[in-house]
């Protein structure tokens, strides 16, 4: 699949909305149907299921299956912090939030909800959401404190076209790919998302791409993600391609690098990789990484080292303090004198570098230790 499929899906949504039926579901069972699953069972393509604020729990409100339908499930308030799917999963009683496994297309939308407490026990995958050979659209959702014993602490997608926009992945955990994993001919568009404090006991602290692509990671922020091995924030493996644009990586840590590509084509442009707590900022096993207009600075294991050493000083690549405004309090905007501002005197050939524009004046807050920073962030 490719980008035109997303365009077609959006056209479908516009056309379908004229005849769509809206059903309302509440956590207390009031509304048109007692549970989210029963509403999906009655819905037809184009329908909208609206969830009122509160916390949804128990059977029918977890392990939710879209049943192949091009429908939208969204919160009434459109505020994920106010509408929560609490899976109540555990190692001995695993449950996740959603399943897409019946050929759903991009018209299958999840919007404005939080999914927490999901658990996938080995060999199952995807603690909060599992997608298999389908297409999904996720908008303004929050995935927090979900876990997978194997892979995909929050999301695991196999052979899937996924568009994930303005969503947050916070405090998820797994053996591999703690936030989201895209496998085997998947294609992912991850746009304006936050990945914070996700932890892998093996590889891929936040995002993993495995034999998948093309993928786009655009205007995303990665903070405090960790992995015991490859890729604290992003790990791309096996032949395929990923394009990273206008992202900010800060305070992530893995001995093998914050961003790692192995036998994989990875292009990074207008991106900051700074202050990693362990390992180099960017690494590659096979020299498959190409950078332009990137600032790699202050990383514990080195900046322009290893496979990317010869790219320093060309194509707008620099190593300079990005001058974040107040990272200790979660503000990764840049100060006015930052070398990452558009067409700065330090780097006149490059537009904005990173996900965040100027947000403070001439003197940003002094850097803090990582321990103090993590304690105060958000």
Q: How confident is the model over 275-301, as pLDDT tens digits?
A: 999 999 999 977 689 999 999 999 999
pLDDT score for 4: 44
pLDDT score for 264: 77
Q: What is the DSSP secondary structure assignment for residue 253, as one 8-state letter?
A: B
CA-to-CA dists, residue 202 to 178, 228, 229, 255, angstroms:
9, 5, 5, 11
Q: How far, in Å, CA of 69 to CA of 170, rounded?
A: 28
Global pTM reads: 0.91
What Rg do the C-alpha atoms of the chain give, in angstroms? 21
pLDDT score for 239: 66
Q: How many CA atoms are closer than 13 Å to the CA of 56, on its beta-carbon side? A: 33
pLDDT values of the chain reduced to their tens digit, one per residue, 378 residues: 334 444 445 444 444 445 899 999 999 999 999 999 999 999 999 999 999 999 999 999 999 999 999 999 999 999 999 999 999 999 999 999 999 999 999 899 999 999 999 999 999 999 999 999 999 999 999 999 999 999 999 999 999 999 999 999 999 999 999 999 999 999 999 999 999 999 999 999 999 999 998 999 999 999 999 999 989 999 998 767 899 999 999 999 999 999 998 877 899 999 999 999 999 999 997 768 999 999 999 999 999 999 999 999 999 999 999 999 999 899 999 999 999 999 999 999 999 999 999 999 875 654 443 334 334 333
Note whether residue 191 is domain-resident. Answer: yes
Note whether residue 105 is domain-resident. Answer: yes
Residue written as tokens 């990074």? 268
Note whether residue 291 is domain-resident. Answer: yes
CA-to-CA dists, residue 150 to 11, 127, 204, 224, 260, angstroms:
37, 9, 12, 21, 20
Domain count, the chain: 1
pLDDT score for 363: 58
Residues 6+ apart with CB under 8 A from 263: 237, 238, 239, 285, 286, 288
**Domain that residue 290 falls in:** 55-376
pLDDT score for 10: 47
User: By C-alpha distance, which of 268, 230, 267, 265 is closest to 248?
Assistant: 268
Residues 6+ apart with CB under 8 A from 24: 31, 32, 49, 50, 51, 52, 76
Question: DSSP secondary structure string, 25-40?
Answer: E-TTS-BSSSSHHHHH
CA-to-CA dists, residue 102 to 37, 38, 43, 87, angstroms:
15, 17, 15, 21
Note whether residue 258 is domain-resident. Answer: yes
pLDDT score for 200: 97
* Strand partners for 209: 182, 236
82 by Cβ neighbours in 10 Å (0-12 / 13-18 / 19+) ranks as middle
Note whether residue 199 is domain-resident. Answer: yes
Note whether residue 18 is domain-resident. Answer: no
* Residue 216 tokens, joined: 């786009």
* Residue 110 tokens, joined: 């999840």
pLDDT score for 141: 98
- Torsions phi, psi for 372 (to 5 deg): -65, -40
Q: How far, in Å, CA of 156 to CA of 283, rounded?
A: 24
Note whether residue 4 is domain-resident. Answer: no
pLDDT score for 223: 98
pLDDT score for 77: 97
pLDDT score for 129: 98
- Torsions phi, psi for 39 (to 5 deg): -65, -40
pLDDT score for 375: 42
Kindly list the strands in the beta sheet with 129-132, ordered across the sheet, starting from the edge strand earlier in the chain. 64-65, 98-100, 129-132, 155-158, 180-183, 207-210, 234-237, 259-262, 282-284
pLDDT score for 238: 79
Note whether residue 15 is domain-resident. Answer: no
Q: How far, in Å, CA of 303 to CA of 297, rounded?
A: 6
Other CB atoms within 10 Å distance of the CB of residue 343: 11
């Amino acid at each position: 699949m490719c980008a035109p499929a997303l365009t077609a899906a959006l056209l479908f949504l516009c056309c379908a909305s004229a005849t769509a039926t809206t059903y309302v579901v509440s956590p207390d069972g009031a509304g048109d149907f007692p549970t989210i699953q029963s509403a999906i069972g009655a819905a037809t393509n184009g329908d909208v299921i609206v969830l009122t604020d509160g916390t949804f729990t128990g059977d029918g409100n977890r392990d939710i299956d879209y049943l192949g339908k091009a429908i939208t499930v969204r919160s009434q308030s459109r505020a994920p912090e106010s509408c929560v799917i609490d899976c109540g999963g555990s190692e001995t009683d695993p449950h996740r939030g959603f399943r897409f496994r019946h050929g759903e297309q991009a018209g299958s939308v999840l919007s404005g909800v939080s999914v927490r407490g999901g658990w996938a026990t080995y060999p199952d995958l995807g603690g909060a959401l599992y997608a298999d050979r389908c297409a999904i659209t996720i908008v303004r959702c929050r995935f927090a404190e979900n876990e997978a014993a194997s892979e995909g602490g929050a999301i695991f997608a196999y052979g899937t076209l996924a568009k994930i926009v303005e969503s947050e992945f916070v405090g998820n955990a797994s053996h591999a790919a703690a936030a989201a994993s895209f496998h085997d001919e998947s294609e992912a568009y991850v746009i304006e998302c936050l990945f914070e404090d996700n932890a892998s006991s093996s590889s891929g602290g936040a995002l993993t791409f495995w034999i998948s692509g093309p993928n786009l990671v655009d205007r995303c922020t990665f903070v405090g993600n960790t992995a015991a091995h490859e890729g604290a924030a992003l790990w791309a493996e096996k032949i395929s391609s990923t394009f990273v644009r206008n992202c900010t990586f800060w305070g992530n840590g893995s001995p093998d690098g914050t961003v790692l590509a192995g036998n994989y084509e990875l292009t990074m442009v207008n991106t900051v990789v700074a202050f990693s707590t362990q390992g180099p900022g960017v690494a590659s096993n096979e020299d498959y990484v190409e950078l332009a207009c990137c600032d790699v600075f202050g990383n514990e294991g080195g900046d322009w080292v290893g496979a990317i050493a010869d790219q320093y000083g060309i194509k707008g690549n620099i190593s300079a303090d990005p001058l974040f405004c107040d990272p200790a309090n979660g503000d990764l905007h840049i100060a006015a004198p930052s070398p990452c501002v558009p067409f700065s005197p330090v780097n006149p050939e490059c537009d904005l570098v990173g996900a965040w524009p100027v947000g403070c004046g001439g003197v940003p807050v002094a850097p803090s230790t990582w321990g103090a920073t993590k304690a105060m962030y958000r």
